[in-house]
Every structure is written in C-alpha cells, then in structure tokens.
Amino acid sequence: MPGLKSSVNKTAPEPTDPFHPIIYVRGYAMTENAMEATVHTPYMGFNLGSTRARQQYDRSFRHYIFESPLIRLMKEYGYQDSYADGINLAEPGGAVDFPDTDKRLPRRSIIIHRYYEEEHEQGNGATDSDAMGRSQRPSIEAAAVRLSKLIARVRDFICGDNTQARADFKVYLVAHSMGGLICRCLLQNEQADPEQSRRLVDKVFTYGTPHNGIEVMGLNVPRFFSLWDAHNFNRAEMAEYLKLKPRNGRVNSLNGAFPAERFFCLVGTNPHDYNLTRLVIDKASDGLVTMDNAYIEDAPRVHTYTSHSGPYGMVNSKIGYDNLVRFLFGDYRLRITMQPAVLPLSPPLQRAYDDGATIRGSYLFECTLTPRGDDPVPLSSRRIDHHSAVFRSFDELLNPHKAGLKRPRYPVLASVFLDSKRIEVGTTMVMNLELNVEGTDFRLNGGSVLSRRAPAEHLFRQTITLKITLQPGGWRMRYIFADQQWSDGRGSELKEDEQGHFIELKNSKGFAAKLYLQMADWR
C-alpha cells in the first residue's frame, strides 16, 4: 500500500508461510439502522483504532495511537485489501473488470465478508448493481454458505489454475462476536459449506464470540425472541445450526469438526465501557458476552481488559491485535500453570481449625503477562477487580477426591502465543508476570471472619521477569523475582522435574507452590 511505513520501523517479512489471506467476519448489527450503516462502510469495523494517553517523565501526556488491526497488518506485515479502483475483487463478478494477472489478489490480502449486504448473482457471474448497497438480515446458515463461496473465490483469484498453489492454499478467519458463530457454522455444519471450504481454513481467531450463547439477567435468550434475530444466541437454536448435541447444556464445542488448538478465543473483561446493555448482563463479561460463554472447549483463550466494542473495544485495541498476530504468525506457545503445595491459613484461623472448627473458603489466582515492546500492554490479564481471576476451592486443589475429582484442578494462569520475530533486542524474549494469590472471605462454623483479617490481604504476591533466549535447537528460560531485584540482571535458571520446568514459589507466610512454564513450538 503506497505511502505506508512500518510503525515499528521494520520491513515486512518475505512472502512465505505463515502469511495466508485473512477474511474478517464482523459481528451482530441489531437494528435496521445499524445494518444500513454497516453496508455503507468498506471495512465493517476492522479499520477502527483507538487512542490512549501515556504520562511522561515531566507530567505531560502523550497520545499513543493504535491505527487499527487493518492498518497495522498493512504496515507491519505487508497485507493489502481486496479493493481496486472502487471494485471489490473478492465479490461475485469482481474480477470481470480485471482479467489481467497483475490484478490478482496477493496471498497477503484482507477480505471483508460482507454478509449483511444483499447479493444477487446473475447467470454470467456479474452482480446486479441495483441490489448492491442494500442491507439484508441473513440467517447464520445463509451467511456461512456465502462465506464458503467467498473462500472458494479467494482461492481461485489468488491461485488461478496453478495446481500446486491451489493444493497449498489456506486462509485465516478472523471474527468478532456473531461472526465467530458464522465461522463455526461453516466448520461444523456440512450443509452450510457447499464449496467444501472448511478444509482450506488454517486458523480461526474470535473476538468476544458468544460460543455458548448470550445471557440476559442470568437467563439464556429465549428461542421465541426472534426480534432482530436475537434467537441466534439461544442454545437450542445454536445446536441446530451448528449440528451439535449440547454437552451438559452447553454448545461451546467444535465436536471434532476443527482442531480446537487452532481456534483462538479472546475474552473481554471490561463491561463498564460498553453500552447500556451492560446493565442487564453479568459483571463477569465484556458488557454483552459473559466470560463463561466466550470460549470453545479445549481451545486457547486469553482474558483481556477490553469491552465488547466501542472506544475500549477488543477489535480496535492493541491488546487484541498483539494476540491476533502472535496467534496467526507466531512460532511459540507458552502455558503457565500453578501447582500449590501449601495454602496456609492465618494464625487465628489455623488455631480455630486445630480446635475442630469447620472452615470454608476458596482461592483467587491473578496473573497478568506483559511482554517487552514499544508500547507494552498485557497479552493476558486475569484480575480480581475485573472478575476474571481463576477461582479454585481448597478441595479442588489439595483434596480432589472430596471434590469429586480424580486429580487436582490446578489453575492455568495464562496460555499465550509468542513470536520470536518481534524480539526488540538481541535473541531474548522478555516479559513480566504479575502474580497474586488471595483467599476469598472464609467462613468459620458458618459465620464470617472479616473481623479477623486485614482487607485484601495477599497470600502470595510477586512480579517475575521471565527471559526466554532462543538457541540452536531450542530455548533457555531464566527468571528474576523483580519485586526484590532489578529485572535487567542475568536471573536464575528454572528447575526441572518429571512434569517439566518450574519456578519454586514460597514466602514467610508458609505459602508454597510450583509455577510450571511449558514452551512449545507453534506454527
């Protein structure tokens, strides 16, 4: 794209894997006005960015500009859109005016699935111009059918008759909200995939998709509520168009139709900056979709302090973009799990427990992971004040059989994707982990014990600087307890046992745990 330069002063990588075409599938437009506004925009929200203020050393503020995921993909990775001279080359008949090969779509193309736009295909492949620009409200299945055809057209226009190029062709699907359900319908419902395009999908990234429906005032949207097609978020309705049998009343499973490890779920945790809908949605949400409904079983997911949409929305955030490009183009995956060995009680509670009192309580685990970079923002953030901390009961952790479990349910604190090509200095990826473990309000013989403890007392708290150095044939991890030491030191090597590499955590209160860090190749 002429005139654009990289915001990180890096040249775009050479056109090799993993750079496949990206198809963006926008979310739900509730009203007729919203649909009309949608079809009259070229990029349907993927071009929206955000600005943030950052305080400087002299008390002044500087604005940090995140241009948009669209513009960043163009600047940093050499992508371009599918529009030429006012024509959408990816729509039916779009290539008619450009038969010459130099107008073919490159592999690094971004295509917008314009499913809210009425489309009339004529026998000669041209599009009825009178119909273009008018909005329609298609069913989920109809939008998935059009997505299937769009993927096939993109393959044809990029690869032409080149047999090897067609055999190697893959595409990325990036979707917001209901757009993720359209992608799932393509993958899970054979009738919605007339072109057999699901085999061409390499990875799927969803922002705030209600994979298990939408709850209003604690109740799933009723099936009979068809106004504005809101019944699309009813679980019984979803089970039908996803060709899925609910499991324990839930429909957030790919049911083997697509590899779950290649399906990413970004979960928002900021309801406060969404519209008034947030008033009838649970606090543990992005303002529209609850955290418990925003993920796919066994798929990687990340919690971020973003709203469903708006100025602080997830699609137009740098946090969302950083996770997107690392998932699509990265080369490593990092999984962090804590295995507590001792969860001590405070001295008064311990004495009461020793005297035979009944004590009930659970634990909240916080973890915020922030990589070093030009404008460091957390890749993953699970916080108590965002209602996103990992919750575990004492029995789930240290007495699993009493909780009806075969093994302890240790908290997975973060599972993120990393890209060694984005290293700023040298050959080492550097990131900070902010860890905190707190107990909930304990109950002593059924009564509150708030008077026996200081508010918000931490059972364990530490900032850990993690350094991952790439070496021939692998990597080497070191760590620094940054609350006591400067983070630019050499650090200590991780210990290792039969379960993997870990950092030993302990303090003078008696807390003890192992923090396991599992690195794996990712392509």
pLDDT one-digit tens code per residue, 378-392:
999 999 999 999 999
Segment 74-86 mean pLDDT: 93
Structure-token pair, residue 36? 């009309």
Q: Determine what percent of the chain falls in helix, strand and coil, rounding each to the nearest 5.
A: 25, 30, 45
Going by pLDDT thresholds of 50, 70 and 90, the confidence category of residue 99 is low
Going by pLDDT thresholds of 50, 70 and 90, the confidence category of residue 128 is very low
By mean pLDDT, which of 7-21, 311-325, 333-347, 473-487 is the weakest?
7-21
Residue 499 vs residues 86, 300, 337, 339, 367: alpha-carbon distances, Å: 57, 21, 11, 11, 21
* Cβ contacts of 516 within 8 Å, gap of 6 or more: 336, 337, 338, 339, 499, 500, 501, 502
Q: Has residue 338 got a pLDDT over 90?
A: yes
Q: What percent of the chain has pLDDT over 70?
A: 88
pLDDT at residue 358, rounded to an integer: 84
pLDDT at residue 124, rounded to an integer: 41
* Cβ contacts of 283 within 8 Å, gap of 6 or more: 271, 387
pLDDT at residue 220, rounded to an integer: 85
Q: Has residue 252 got a pLDDT over 80?
A: yes
- Residues 202 and 29: their CA atoms lie apart, in Å, by 27
Segment 481-510 mean pLDDT: 95
By mean pLDDT, which of 39-53, 115-129, 138-152, 335-349 is the weakest?
115-129
pLDDT at residue 425, rounded to an integer: 79
At which residue do the structure tokens 């760590």 appear?
A: 479
pLDDT at residue 143, rounded to an integer: 95
Q: Has residue 15 got a pLDDT over 70?
A: no
22-25 and 171-176 beta bridge pairing: parallel
At which residue do the structure tokens 């993720």 appear?
A: 180
- Residues 305 and 369: their CA atoms lie apart, in Å, by 12
Q: Has residue 127 got a pLDDT over 50?
A: no
pLDDT at residue 441, rounded to an integer: 82
> What is the model's pTM?
0.91
Segment 45-72 mean pLDDT: 91
Helices 318-329, 69-77: crossing angle, 10 deg rounding: 50
By mean pLDDT, which of 22-26, 222-226, 491-495 is the weakest?
222-226
CATH class of this structure's domain 22-329 = alpha beta
Compute the mean pLDDT over every residue in the chain, rounded to the nearest whole number.
Answer: 88
Segment 186-203 mean pLDDT: 98
By mean pLDDT, which of 249-253, 333-337, 469-473, 511-515 is the weakest?
469-473
- Where helices occur in 62-125 by DSSP H, the ranges are 69-77
C-alpha triplet 405, 408, 414: angle, nearest 5°: 125
Segment 47-66 mean pLDDT: 89
Phi, psi of 500 (to 5 degrees): 135, -165
Q: Has residue 49 got a pLDDT over 60?
A: yes
By mean pLDDT, which of 45-54, 121-130, 371-380, 404-413 is the weakest?
121-130
- Under a CB-based contact definition with an 8 Å cutoff, are residues 105 and 84 in contact? no
The CB-side HSE value for 497 (13 A sphere, CA atoms) comes to: 7
pLDDT at residue 14, rounded to an integer: 42
Going by pLDDT thresholds of 50, 70 and 90, the confidence category of residue 519 is very high
Q: Tell me the β-bridge partners of 390.
A: 365
pLDDT at residue 450, rounded to an integer: 56
Give the number of other CB atoms < 10 A from CB of residue 512: 16
Choose among 146, 213, 224, 174: nearest CA to 27. 174
Task: Indicate the helix (H) or strand (E) that contains 320.
Answer: helix 318-329
Choose among 509, 513, 504: nearest CA to 458. 509
Going by pLDDT thresholds of 50, 70 and 90, the confidence category of residue 136 is low
Segment 352-360 mean pLDDT: 85
- Residues 182 and 206: their CA atoms lie apart, in Å, by 11
By mean pLDDT, which of 22-31, 59-68, 113-122 is the weakest?
113-122
Q: Has residue 2 got a pLDDT over 80?
A: no
Q: Which residue type, as a one-letter code, is found at position 50?
A: S
**Beta strands of 292-342 (E only): which ranges?**
301-304, 332-342
